[in-house]
Amino acid sequence: MDAISVIRTKRDRGELSGEQIDWVIDAYTRGTVADEQMSSLAMAILLNGMNRTEIARWTAAMIASGERMSFDSLSRPTADKHSTGGVGDKITLPLAPLVAACGAAVPQLSGRGLGHTGGTLDKLESIPGWRALLSNEEMLRVLDSTGAVICAAGDGLAPADKKLYALRDVTGTVEAIPLIASSIMSKKIAEGTGSLVLDVKVGSGAFMKNLEDARELASTMVALGTDSGVRTVALLTDMSTPLGLTAGNALEVRESVEVLAGGGPADVVELTLALAREMLTAAGLPDADPAKALADGSAMDVWRRMISAQGGDPDAELPVAREQHVVTAPASGVLTRLDAYDIGLAAWRLGAGRARKEDPVQAGAGVELHAKPGDTVTEGQPLLTLHTDTPEKFGWALEPLATACDIAPAGTAFTASPIVLDRIS
């Protein structure tokens, strides 16, 4: 085998053989195939695609590059959730303890934010003392004692994906659907969960901007999971508007705790419950009632135990940004659009996100929303509050917000998009 022949096969719209795929993934992981060669292959895949057989073999090769975990020692069925990323997407925080409170075990391996999309680990690290990095033994111990764990994936889990993801990020090939699907599913299958629910975001604040691309990605991932023996279902959910009323780190933790306390924004509660029902059904617990677990405080109890088990203090004060700036409504009427991408970009520029994986983030930075599409607003009333420790960033963050909203005349009829747009199984 040699890298040039593999590249030429896909460049010329051919089908990669299983042997070619196994060899190139292994060789790249070991450093035999150079970054510029793998980036050329990734671009050929972006432009010419892969069929189901190729994607399945590519995913299997990435899984084989590292270890596979097992939760067979647990007394509960396992269920996991993966989101393709969005703005204000704090759903994992209330969802994991909620599903655990209903009887499943939730081994949630999560990531960090990059660009305009937030990262679950960044959000939780705003809680004093909380640790994202756990050994496999610690992860199992927390999962066994509390029913849920949210942590970073270990270095031994699909190392080929970790190396390839970093390359795709700097070579303009992140959007390749075969590579997105195999990246997500290699880690989830290697993780060893028994069932998986995928939250595939659609809209301006998501990687998938339209339903057609989102359905293709969801169908590809569901097929990969099913073929590997993991019960997998996908929900396509709206990401044209931020979820909830906050986009940031500590800001989103506060909102998540409100949901666990029985309150919180209606859209966050609705999506949390929809995903919880899918996870519980996939785990063989269709009669469990997640709404009851939110109302009676049992989900909050699991949250507190989970945070404490990972070194965090669930009673500690969360960080607050030193500076705020209020953005007011430019006119009176009905707010008909609040663009998720623009809000996410502003939060990132304020310090809530990062441009590179090694960049630090501000725990208190972000954007607070005072209205959502469908609300009536009055000229001059607070529409958004920007939070940051570095006020010199306000001007940079305000740039995308200049075109982030539309306000129609008072009395204009408005119909909100449903949160769940489709279901793929």
Residues involved in catalysis: 82, 161, 168, 183, 187
Q: What is the DSSP string of 151-199?
A: EEPPTTS-HHHHHHHHHHHTTT-TT-HHHHHHHHHHHHHHHT-SEEEEE
- CA pair distance 382, 353, nearest whole angstrom: 24
Task: List the 80-83 sheet strands across, edge first.
Answer: 80-83, 195-202, 231-238, 420-424
- Residue type for position 42: A
Instruction: Give dist(CA 283, CA 176) in Å, integer.
Output: 30
Q: What angle do CA 263, 269, 274 make, to 5 degrees?
A: 150
Beta strand extents in 46-161 (DSSP E only) = 80-83, 106-110, 148-152
DSSP notation for 254-312 = HHHHHHHTT-S-HHHHHHHHHHHHHHHHHTT-TT--HHHHHHTSHHHHHHHHHHHHTT-
**C-alpha radius of gyration, the chain, whole number:** 21
Q: Rounded distance, CA 282 to CA 269, Å?
A: 20
Phi, psi of 136, rounded to the nearest 5 degrees: -60, -40
Q: Which of 290, 211, 328, 249 is nearest to 89 (CA)?
A: 249
φ, ψ dihedrals at 294, nearest 5°: -75, -40
On the 0-12 / 13-18 / 19+ scale of CB atoms within 10 A, 397 is buried
Residue 337 CA to residue 317 CA, distance in Å, equals: 33
